[in-house]
Structure formats: C-alpha cells, structure tokens
Chain A
Amino acid sequence: GNSVTQMEGPVTLSEEAFLTINCTYTATGYPSLFWYVQYPGEGLQLLLKATKADDKGSNKGFEATYRKETTSFHLEKGSVQVSDSAVYFCALSERTGNQFYFGTGTSLTVIP
C-alpha cells in the first residue's frame, strides 16, 4: 500500500539555523511527492513538489529531492526565519489516480 512517514515534531530552531524534516514513503507505483505547509490560522497550501526520481522541488528557500533509492523526500532550508513557523506535511500521489496520502505533519517553531 501507499503511506508516508515523516519526522515527528515539534521542532524548535533558532533563526538562521539549518532545517531538515525527514520524509520517507512507501508506494506501489511511481508517485509524485509533495510538501504542504500550514501557517498558523491558515489552510494548507502547496510548498513544493517533485514528479520523478532525482527531481528537486524548491520554493521560498525550501528544497526537497526525490530519492527513489532511499524512498525519501526530505525537506531542507539553509537558514530558517521566524515566518517559517508552521506545520509541514509530506504527501504522495500515485500517477494513475488522484488519491493523496499525507504524513502526520511536523510542527516547526523558529525563535528569534
């Protein structure tokens, strides 16, 4: 079956620290991979995506590389800001269908 496992939080970092949020997946096919972000009081929104192996998704200084060999899609940012405080969700979608599978979310708090 399909599933997503992501690093449990909460994560607390100082401003300008390096961020990694781990995500691994299990899929029966060849999925597309996503990171969604939910800022406080707001709805979920797509942060970045990658559709095939070795693709790198990037947005707002965040990056994630689709690693088929390790079935991973870890989220990274070189220097976090207070405004990055949010809950981050890793997700996958099978190519052949519309079903999405989400991880449990990782809460990030960045302190000045």
Chain B
Amino acid sequence: GAGVSQSPSNKVTEKGKDVELRCDPISGHTALYWYRQSLGQGLEFLIYFQGNSAPDKSGLPSDRFSAERTGGSVSTLTIQRTQQEDSAVYLCASSLPGKQFFGPGTRLTVL
C-alpha cells in the first residue's frame, strides 16, 4: 500500500471490554511502533518491533496492554478490560532507518 493504514479509525467501547487495534505497515519496513497520544499530552511510546527480534515492550503502561506482529507485517495492539484513562488516539508507525511513517491513528473512546 501507499502508506501505513490503521483500523478501525474510531472505536467506542464500554469500560471493561477488550479491544483490538490493527496496523498495516508499509511493505518492506522492518520496524513498527505503537504510540499513544492522549488529549493534551505528547506522544507516548508503547512498543517497538524490529524484524524477528524480541519486541521492546518498555512503554506498555500495564499488563492489560499487549501487541503482536504476525509474519513481520501486520500488528495488533490489544487492550484488555479497558479503562476510561485508555481513551486516546493510538498511532502506528513503520520505518526505514532514520525515518518514520505514521498511520492516521485509531481514536479509542472508553465510556
């Protein structure tokens, strides 16, 4: 594809439900990142995948958050038992060395 795509673009869920957010990176990009952008906050790093290496999960805020990347391509970010403070825009980016390309984000609202 032409760029990084994410789905859904908007997700409204009830507190306590699980959600899955999808990211399709640019073909051939070996690195993939997930960030969270909360209202009035900057970009918060969540997790980083690089090729077949073990992911860097150091930014995940709690064990309710997990992510996987299948076949070195598509990635899914899962949030279990969502809380209202999880409401944010979740951004995915894929990269070539030294340059990131961002997806449009998924806006998650937890009621």
Contacts and interface: CB of A to CB of B under 8 A. Distances in A.
Contacts, number: 46
Contact of B42 (A32, A46, A105): A105
Contacts of A103: 42
A79 interface: no
Interface of B is mostly: strand
Interface size class of B (residues with CB under 8 A): 20 to 34
Interface string A79-112: 0000000000100010100111111110000000
Contacts of B42: 89, 102-105
Contact of A98 (B48, B91, B101, B104): B48
A104 B56 CA distance: 21
Contact of A101 (B45, B50, B102, B104): B45
